[in-house]
Amino acid sequence: MTQSMTAYAQAAVETELGELSCELRSVNHRYLEIAPRMPEELRVHEGLLREAISAKLARGRIDCFIRLKENEAGGLEPNADAASNLQSLLQAIKKDVPEMQPIRAVDVLRWPGILQAKKVAPEVMQAHLMTVLHDALDGLIVSRATEGRKMAELILQRLASMREVVAEVGEFVPEIATNFRARLEEKMADIQDQLDPARLEQEMVFFLQKTDVAEELDRLTVHIDEVTAVLAKPEPAGRRLDFLMQELNREANTLGSKAQDARLTKASVDLKVFIEQMREQVQNIE
């Protein structure tokens, strides 16, 4: 299945510390390049993150943003030991100062050490991170596949147009040789008695060798068939398609260099336009 390297996806999950989100942005790149950005407390899991992305994607630059939005409590929880010590201290003070007013809860919360950062086991946060990452990856793959199908359709349309051009060239190429012979004989009519028939045939053979495009047409057909087959394969095909675009362009250029007829020149130009349009799409295929 053809996949685009340009896509976007995001996912989020609630954790004990707050909302953990993952944002993935993918653009075209010659190889797979992963650029993760995450809170320092989660950096220990970067290796697993890279492995998970590498297992599902083959090419492209992947910008991965991991964010932790703490809940209203700021990821804090009561420190039971500190609270117990404070209670003992208040009771001791109250014995000495019976008229002391009760301390408000808000004052207790402000007491140093009463609140502490919530402690979540590393393996728990790792599980949350992998969950949100895989959710985002699944969304990214769907997006890349959707865009890839559109690209494949555009490429197949250009291939169909190229087939028509190749077939048309195959039909009028024999006319080129016939027309050349007619023009040559017309020019030689006045000196027909002095003309060596062998020389005429030699010129015809030379012209046919110089303008023979049968091999180029055959290669164009083979490459068009190969591109069609590659698009239908499940594995990443971007590099193979890029190579085939180069081969198609080479044959189209050779076709143009042998042009002895305006129709052949136009066909060469049309082919190169279609190839360039396909190449723009291929640059974004994984």
With respect to residue 183, please indicate whether it lies within any of the assigned structural domains: yes
What integer pLDDT is reported at residue 172 of this predicted model? Answer: 82
Contacts of 150 by beta carbon, 8 Å cutoff, 6+ apart: 4
What integer pLDDT is reported at residue 181 of this predicted model? Answer: 63
Task: Estimate to the nearest angstrom the gap between the alpha carbon of 119 and the chain centroid.
Answer: 39
State mean pLDDT over 30-34.
94
Q: What digits encode the pLDDT tens for the residues 37-90?
A: 999 888 999 999 999 999 999 999 999 999 988 765 555 666 666 566 756 666
Question: 230 with 256, same domain?
Answer: yes
Q: What is the mean pLDDT of the chain?
A: 83
CA gap 26, 147 in Å, rounded: 12
State mean pLDDT over 8-25.
92
Question: 61 with 154, same domain?
Answer: no
State mean pLDDT over 243-261.
88
Question: 166 with 275, same domain?
Answer: yes
Question: 105 with 174, same domain?
Answer: no
Question: 274 with 175, same domain?
Answer: yes
What integer pLDDT is reported at residue 48 of this predicted model? Answer: 94
What integer pLDDT is reported at residue 246 of this predicted model? Answer: 96
Name the residue type at position 13: V
Question: 137 with 234, same domain?
Answer: no
Q: What digits encode the pLDDT tens for the residues 188-234?
A: 665 555 556 666 566 555 555 566 678 888 999 999 999 999 999 88
Question: 13 with 57, same domain?
Answer: yes
CA gap 147, 5 in Å, rounded: 9
Which domain covers residue 159, as residue numbers? 146-282
Number of domains comprising the chain: 3
Question: 204 with 261, same domain?
Answer: yes
What integer pLDDT is reported at residue 235 of this predicted model? Answer: 87
Q: What share of the chain is helix, strand, coil (3-state, %, to 5)?
A: 65, 15, 20
Give the percent of the chain with pLDDT over 90.
52
With respect to residue 273, please indicate whether it lies within any of the assigned structural domains: yes
Question: 252 with 161, same domain?
Answer: yes
Give the percent of the chain with pLDDT over 70.
71
Query: How many helices, marked H, and strands, marked E, lie in the chain?
Result: 8, 6
Name the residue type at position 12: A
Q: Is the pLDDT of residue 127 over 70?
A: yes
With respect to residue 2, please indicate whether it lies within any of the assigned structural domains: no
CATH number of the domain where residue 42 is located:
3.30.230
**Lowest mean pLDDT: which of 20-29, 253-262, 271-280?**
253-262
Q: Please tell me which residue, 93 or 42, carries the higher pLDDT value.
A: 42
Vertex 240: Cα angle to 235 and 241 (nearest 5): 100
Question: 159 with 90, same domain?
Answer: no
The burial class, CB within 10 Å (0-12 / 13-18 / 19+), for 45 is buried
With respect to residue 1, please indicate whether it lies within any of the assigned structural domains: no
| CA end-to-end span of the chain | 10
With respect to residue 97, please indicate whether it lies within any of the assigned structural domains: yes
What integer pLDDT is reported at residue 86 of this predicted model? Answer: 57
Task: Estimate to the nearest angstrom the gap between the alpha carbon of 200 and the chain centroid.
Answer: 57
CATH number of the domain where residue 269 is located:
1.20.140
pTM: 0.71
| Bridge partners for 167 per DSSP | none
Question: 27 with 66, same domain?
Answer: yes
Question: 125 with 14, same domain?
Answer: yes
| Closest of 137, 140, 157, 150 to residue 2, by C-alpha | 150
**Lowest mean pLDDT: which of 100-114, 124-138, 221-235, 245-259?**
100-114
